[in-house]
Amino acid sequence: MSPATPSAAEPSTRERQERQIVIPSSPDEPVPEVRVAANTLTLFRFDAPIDRASVEVEGRTTRFRVVDVGDRTLILEPAVEPGSGEKLGVRVRYRDGATPAYATFSLVSHSTQVDKEVEVVRRPRSVEALEAMLAEKEAALAALQGASGPAGLVFFGRLDLKGVQAQRIEVPLGTQGGLNVVTGEAYRAGTWALAVVRVLNLPGQKPWEPGAARLTRPDGTPVKVRSVDMDRALLGPGEEGLVAVETESPFWKVSEALRLELLDKSGSRRLLISEVKL
């Protein structure tokens, strides 16, 4: 990677882009570049499941405020963006064994643009491969349809003898970024935990949707977030919606008060709930 002096330029005036990059199938092809900015979230969506443990981000511990890996997503927020001419490498391995096996790209800075959402795709697959994938998806869908409701939770290992514990979440008073937390509920099972909060986007505000979530224990230990979902695509001005944050298998005590932070896709409107007991 090319050494350079890191930059902390203000990204507020940069145009936020949504685009697609195609992963090269040959090492001789140029590595795609993704434009990032300090204090700005960039969301990568992959077209197949990725190996979370395989994710390599150059400068991960020193240059980034957020590195959050999901089954098909990667969220990055640089604390200090690449300097002029500098490239920070990112390497992710796919889980399906298809070719190319790895997605590799470079993070760079740009004076006028930043990529807020990037769809990462591989070369178009053959007809035979697409037909096989379609058959697999149809079989999985048929299995899900045949095992819906509580039975499906048991069949897929989501519910066991430990059952589910539920309690209310103590919601904060006041407004944050034009948002209010109306109510909150917490659910805990053997293999997952779920924080559900009802969010009000106040009248006169811009539409809002959650882009990422951070959960931390009182000692600062992060809790892995598996997914962030809302019961509607967007919250318009004056609208309410339920936001559900699912975590990994609980390894913390029920009495611990976790810190939950919800971020919109731009990273500019954040909602903090400091007393979440899951």
Phi, psi (rounded to 5 degrees) for 155: -60, -35
pTM: 0.50
* Domain final residue, candidates 65, 98, 121: 121
d(CA 184, CA 163): 20
Whether residue 233 contacts residue 5, with contact meaning beta carbons closer than 8 Å, is answered with no
- Domain holding 185: CATH number? 2.60.40.10
**Domain membership of residue 225 as a residue range:** 165-276
Instruction: Give domain status of residue 68, yes or no.
Output: yes
- How far is CA 153 from its chain centroid? 23
Q: Which helix (H) or strand (E) holds 251?
A: none
Same domain, 265 and 171: yes
Q: CA dihedral defined by 33, 35, 38, 42, rounded to 10 degrees?
A: -90
Domain CATH code at residue 95: 2.60.40
Is 22 within the bounds of a domain? Answer: yes
Residue that terminates a domain, selected from 88, 103, 121? 121
pLDDT tens over the chain, length 278 residues: 444 445 444 545 788 899 999 998 777 889 999 999 999 999 999 999 999 989 999 999 999 999 999 889 999 999 998 999 999 999 999 998 888 899 999 999 999 999 999 999 987 656 666 677 677 777 766 665 655 567 767 776 777 787 889 999 999 888 898 999 999 999 999 889 999 999 999 999 988 988 889 999 999 899 999 999 988 888 889 999 999 999 988 999 999 999 999 988 777 888 999 999 99
